[in-house]
Structure 1
Amino acid sequence: MITIAAACLLDDTGRLLLVRKRGTHAFMLPGGKHETGETPVQALLRELQEELDLRLEENALKPLGRFQADAANEPNMRVDAHVFVATLPHPVQPAAELEELAWLDTASDYPQNLAPLLREQVLPALLQHLG
């Protein structure tokens, strides 16, 4: 089991920011694995800074829930994800291991290359949360 923290970052029109790591095909939420001793929020704040040069305050993150699904890029592994929601305060660019950013309009059809966690667990919870 891979323990991660991830963020549903929404722009001012309600679109969801997705990322794709270098050498992979699946789009997923920004975030990543915990380092030793980190809380989910600490891990997420660090990952957002590394991957997107995005600095958020802890109180900007609202818990969405904890979800489990098959890992998108690691065969025969599952992820256990603490997922948070936040408003994106400014435009971002990919950094670190990220190759591409994309925007998902949650009201339209979803592309086929979404990570299982995002497609199966997070999007239904996010849509309910946004109500």
Structure 2
Amino acid sequence: MPDIIVSAAVITDTTGRVLVVRKQGTTRFMQPGGKPEQGETPAQTLLRELHEELGIELAESDLLPLGRFVSAAANEPGHRVIADAFATTIDPSTVSVQAELAELRWITPDDVEALPMAPLSIEHLLPLAWPATRR
């Protein structure tokens, strides 16, 4: 399977909701993030992507590394995604849909069943956000 390297953010608010996004022309929700540009570290990639897609201004010190995770890609059949994931907490009023995003949602564990979610989110990232609700 061809690999897609990305950085992804598990972003929570103070009430424990998790931010998920849907890119234009797709149906599945996922953690925000994206592919690296030449010479970027995973954290630098994520900081750039969060600024471009959501208008979020963060420093590398705001990111907690969670590890590297592998799942089937949500929007590229026959590919797998390899994601360096980071966690952070933000104020929901500081984000807005920009760039290639179609929408964003702040979700709870109860919302997951009703939304089409990316495999990476279901298998790895949401369980990290809500460890008590392992699916």
TM-score of the pair, normalised by structure 2? 0.89
Which residues in structure 2 correspond to 1:70-85 (within 5 Å)?
70-85=72-87
Distance 1:109 1:101, change over 3 A: closer
Change (3 A) 1:43 1:86: same
Asked if 1:120 is matched to 2:123, the reply is: yes
Q: Aligned match of 2:108 in 105, 109, 124? A: 105
Look up the SS of the partner of 1:2 in the other structure: strand
Moved over 4 A (4+): none
Match of 1:50 in 2: 52
Taking the aligned partners of 1:29 and 1:50, their CA distance within structure 2 comes to 14
Does the CA-based 8 Å contact 1:21-1:99 persist in structure 2?
yes
Q: Identity of aligned pairs, percent?
A: 51
**Count of equivalent residues:** 129
Q: C-alpha displacement at 1:90, in angstroms? A: 4.8
Segments of 5+ residues of structure 2 without an aligned counterpart are: none
1:93 is matched with which residue: 82, 88, 96? 96
Q: CA deviation at 1:120?
A: 1.0
Output the TM-score relative to the length of structure 1: 0.92
More helix by share: 2
CA-atom RMSD in angstroms? 1.6
CA contact (8 A) 1:64 1:126 kept: no
Alpha-carbon distance in 2 for matches of 1:116, 1:81: 12
CA–CA distance in 2 between the matches of 1:33 and 1:82? 10
Which runs of no fewer than 5 residues in structure 1 stay unpaired?
none
Q: 116-125 or 16-25: which moved more? A: 116-125
How far apart are residue 109 of structure 1 and its match? 4.9
Query: Distance between the aligned counterparts of 2:17 and 2:111, measured in 1?
Result: 13
* Displacement after TM superposition at 1:128 (Å): 3.0
Question: Counterpart of 2:105 in 1: which secondary structure?
Answer: strand
* Partner SS state of residue 59, structure 1: helix
* Structure 2 CA distance for aligned equivalents of residues 58 and 90 of structure 1: 19
The answer as to 2:48 corresponding to 1:40 is no
Q: Does the C-alpha gap of structure 1 residues 65 and 128 become closer, same or farther in structure 2, counting only changes over 3 Å?
A: farther
The one of 4, 7, 12 equivalent to 1:5 is: 7
